[in-house]
Amino acid sequence: MARKQECIAMLLAGGQGSRLGILTKNIAKPAVPYGGKYRIIDFPLSNCVNSGIHTVGVLTQYQPLVLNDYIGNGQPWDLDRADGGVHILSPYQQIKGTEWYKGTANSIYQNIKFIERYDPEYVLILSGDHIYKMDYSKMLDYHKANKADCTIAMIEVPWEEASRFGLMIVNPDGSISEFEEKPENPRSNKASMGIYIFNWKKLRQYLIDDEANENSGNDFGHDVIPAMHKAGERMFAYQFDGYWKDVGTIDSLWDSNLDLLNPKVDLDLDDDSWKIYSRSPVAPPHYVGENAKIENSMITEGCEIDGSIDFSVLFANVKVEEGANVKYSIIMPGTVIKKGATVQYSIVAENTVIEEGATVGRSPEEMENIEDWGVAVIGNGIKIGKDVKVAPKAMVDTDMGGEA
Amino acid sequence: MAAKNVLGIIFSNAYDEVIPQVTSHRTMGSVPFAGRYRLIDFQLSNMVNAGIPQVGILTNSNYRSLMDHIGNGKAWDLARKRDGLTILPPFNHPDTGVFKGKIDALFGSIGYISDSGKDYVLITDCNVVCDIDYDALLEFHIERNAEITLAYARNVKSQLATAMEYEVESYGRISEIRYADPFGDDSSNSLKMMVINRTLLERLLHEASLKRITDFEQLLSENCGNLRVYGYRHNGYAKIIEDLKSYYDANLDLLKPEVRRALFPADKPVYTKTSDKVPAVYGINSVVKNSLIADGCRIDGEVENSILFRGVTVSKGAKVKNSIIMQDTFISENAEVESVITDKDVSIGARKKLCGADNYPVYIGKGINI
């Protein structure tokens, strides 16, 4: 039996993230690179550590190799601990058979034994697809002060976007009176952030009941939360103010990266009191050449820049040769952009080669029909041949052009 | 695989006195270098990359920053149950006080050395920046059946009075070890790195202690004739840091692509403590040319031919040229610095101008506000 913990976190990292297309072909969504040197999962993991939560179960299922490797023993987040620490929880074989995680609630159900080892009072459920800095300990205080059974983190979203979210109608005392799942005509703009704190004993029972219910989809948002609400449990909304972005689509991933370059956006990663930790690459500082031109950009270790970079985020070990142009783009680790190539309004994944004179993406102003515009995406390890043109909105997952 | 039978020993304090400005509050080993490293990272990484499993770091004074940097050795994969990294603080004999020379230092840790049980001891300073192949050096040592193998290089003449040079015969045998003539022709210059058989080292240390010899070079020189001493030539890049000027030049040398390739080969990383800083951010109208920029920098001004360490701010209208700007230095709006070395946490006020000579930099001490 491990030492008792007041609160442990369970991080749902098993989803495929199919809306990210080829970016999640070989990696789980939480492992997608973000912000020059991070991966999405660095945010919830760092938030946990910074909030004083040192026991985290990471539930993986889809393409876990990169994610498992990245998390390792948890050392970059100070989660290599004798008591608790980070644990990768994959589905496993049991006497009654083998089951994949059927849904978010089922994945926690299958790990009841893991949770019980720590005998926690509270369980924090997190997802691995958002960029935000949040002190979960304040949310826990709020949960305790309300003597709640379940507290759901909530953020006010613009009314015109509200119908894309799971919404809550909240009473003046903070308790939740009603849920609305992506309604056509929203009556609230208070969106659920997919962050829950439960009293473990309560949740445990609901998970067992949910599992026994053959009609259930075994999902927190669709099944467990409504069941608790229906039964009249004490459910509260915890309001979060600050930057929070779902990076589950190509456009939002692109936007959110570029948000880092916007001084008006409230997401300061250079904050010593709330550091975002990551497994850093081992590389020297980046080199900026004689003819380079860099503005409004984020560049990290191991890069060699001789071309021009504007409004872009470059990850480790990216090379941009002389005369190459990179604009409004996200360039992931190890990619080489050769002489005279142009990459704009694009996301280029890891270890890609863009040959001389190739052009990737286009600016919206150049489009005849704006409907055809979108961020171009180049998949992992792809080679774009000399002078090849990649259209905006394209998703490239096979090599293009160039002499064999 | 012979490397697993090697104990590495690093002198972290040797030559502190040659760049007193930068070492007044730290050891030579913890002198910041190349934007995100400390000098000791190069020797530690050379050892780890060769597969040497155990390293002791000898310290004498001012080693708090070194301990802070090294921690438990995790960054070099040296936090281990078996072997691993140990910081060896000065061992005070009741009759000698804090040790004087390298012999004293080694003698104070002789228990650690013999307990290692390794057949070979690799002893090095940390003021030579290079990527040396210790695996090859070791192979050479074993193949020649040498008792001592000293590393040397051509074209790296040191100006220090204590610099040594070797007379290397064919087949690598060293026939003479002598003080280098700073004005003489190019010779086989000592890199202050050597492999010695452990039992021999223990014997020599006991003898030296009886004879009251404190100078390591003297000991080697005296024993050169009656021991099998060989020279291993390092052909790659090597730069000796022995005064403020050479420190400045060695940093700026990194702006050459061939030097970066030589010091940072892709398959042999230089490890260092990570700081979890954000990537560098370039603002509107920033102009950066021929410079090395570490993470955590914020650049809104102009930077040319310079090395910026982690967390440096170059504000709007500020100009930085031919300079080494250490960690967390803040350069305010419209300030100008040229040929300057700023130590950590320096702050240069708005519109202030600082300029060193083309061939000699001005040094601004740690935490100074201008």
CATH number at residue B23: 3.90.550.10
Please tell me if residue B353 touches chain A, with a CB cutoff of 8 Å.
Answer: no
* Of B263, B291, B326, the domain-final residue: B263
For residue B51, being part of any structural domain is answered with yes
Shortest Cα–Cα distance, B82 to chain A (Å): 19
For residue B271, being part of any structural domain is answered with no
pLDDT surpassing 80 at residue A97: no
Nearest CA in chain A to B295: A300
Regarding whether B324 and B222 lie in a shared domain, the answer is: no
Q: Is B80 helix (H, G, I), strand (E, B) or coil?
A: coil
Please tell me if residue A80 touches chain B, with a CB cutoff of 8 Å.
Answer: no
Other CB atoms within 10 Å distance of the CB of residue A266: 12
Regarding whether B180 and B77 lie in a shared domain, the answer is: yes
String of DSSP letters for B11-22: ESSTTGGGSHHH
> Tell me, what's the pLDDT at B16?
75
Helix axes B134-143, B39-50, angle to 10 degrees: 50
> Tell me, what's the pLDDT at A296?
95
B283/A285 Cβ within 8 A:
no
For residue B311, being part of any structural domain is answered with yes
Residue A364 and residue A359: Cα distance in Å, rounded?
15
Helix (H) or strand (E) holding B179: strand B174-179
Between the ranges A177-186, A264-273, A334-343, A362-371, where is the mean pLDDT highest?
Answer: A334-343
Regarding whether B95 and B200 lie in a shared domain, the answer is: yes
**What CATH number corresponds to the domain at position B352?**
2.160.10.10
pLDDT surpassing 80 at residue A15: no
Residues of A in Cβ contact (< 8 Å) with B270? 282, 284
pLDDT surpassing 70 at residue A404: no
Note the pLDDT tens digit of each residue in A294-314: 999 999 999 999 999 999 999
How many CA atoms within 13 Å lie on the side-chain side of A343? 34
Please tell me if residue B293 touches chain A, with a CB cutoff of 8 Å.
Answer: yes
For residue B287, being part of any structural domain is answered with yes
Residues of A in Cβ contact (< 8 Å) with B276? 76, 275-278, 280
Cα B51 to chain centroid, rounded: 19
Nearest-CA neighbor of A213 among A115, A124, A109?
A109
Place of tokens 């083309």: B358
A276/B282 Cβ within 8 A:
no
* Of B263, B293, B328, the domain-final residue: B263
Pairs of residues, one from chain A and one from chain B, whose beta carbons lie less than 8 Å apart:
108
Strand partners, A238: A153
How is residue A96 written in tokens? Answer: 């009654």
Residues A78 and A32 sit within 8 Å (Cβ to Cβ)? no
Residues B38 and B29 sit within 8 Å (Cβ to Cβ)? yes
ipTM for the predicted complex: 0.90
Regarding whether B196 and B111 lie in a shared domain, the answer is: yes
pLDDT surpassing 80 at residue A28: yes
How is residue A269 written in tokens? Answer: 């990663």
Shortest Cα–Cα distance, B263 to chain A (Å): 10
> Tell me, what's the pLDDT at A233?
95
Rounded average pLDDT over A156-182:
91
For residue B221, being part of any structural domain is answered with yes
Domain around B348: 281-364
Point out the residue among B279, B287, B289 whose CB comes nearest to the CB of A37: B279
The identity of residue B72, as a single letter, is N
For residue B173, give the DSSP letter: B
pLDDT band at A61 (very low <50, low <70, confident <90, very high): confident
Q: How far is CA A29 from CA A22, A25, A329, B85, B160, in A?
A: 11, 9, 19, 38, 57
A286/B288 Cβ within 8 A:
no
Rounded average pLDDT over A266-278:
92
Point out the residue among A275, A288, A299 whose CB comes nearest to the CB of B289: A288
Please tell me if residue B1 touches chain A, with a CB cutoff of 8 Å.
Answer: no
Residues of B in Cβ contact (< 8 Å) with A43? none
Shortest Cα–Cα distance, B286 to chain A (Å): 6
Interstrand relation of B280-282 and A297-299 (parallel, antiparallel or unpaired)? antiparallel
For residue B26, being part of any structural domain is answered with yes
How is residue A193 written in tokens? Answer: 């952030």
Please tell me if residue A90 touches chain B, with a CB cutoff of 8 Å.
Answer: no
For residue B248, give the DSSP letter: H
Regarding whether B179 and B207 lie in a shared domain, the answer is: yes
Rounded average pLDDT over A69-80:
92
pLDDT surpassing 90 at residue A16: no
Note the pLDDT tens digit of each residue in A237-248: 999 999 999 998
Residues B237 and B188 sit within 8 Å (Cβ to Cβ)? no
**Share above pLDDT 90 across residues of chain A, in percent, rounded to a whole number:** 78
Regarding whether B168 and B223 lie in a shared domain, the answer is: yes
Interstrand relation of B54-58 and B84-88 (parallel, antiparallel or unpaired)? parallel
Other CB atoms within 10 Å distance of the CB of residue A1: 7
For residue B352, being part of any structural domain is answered with yes
Query: How many domains would you assign to chain B?
Result: 2
Regarding whether B315 and B253 lie in a shared domain, the answer is: no
Rounded average pLDDT over A46-74:
92
Instruction: Give me the residues of chain B with pLDDT under 70, please.
Output: 1, 92-100
Please tell me if residue A300 touches chain B, with a CB cutoff of 8 Å.
Answer: yes
Residues A354 and A339 sit within 8 Å (Cβ to Cβ)? no
Regarding whether B298 and B180 lie in a shared domain, the answer is: no
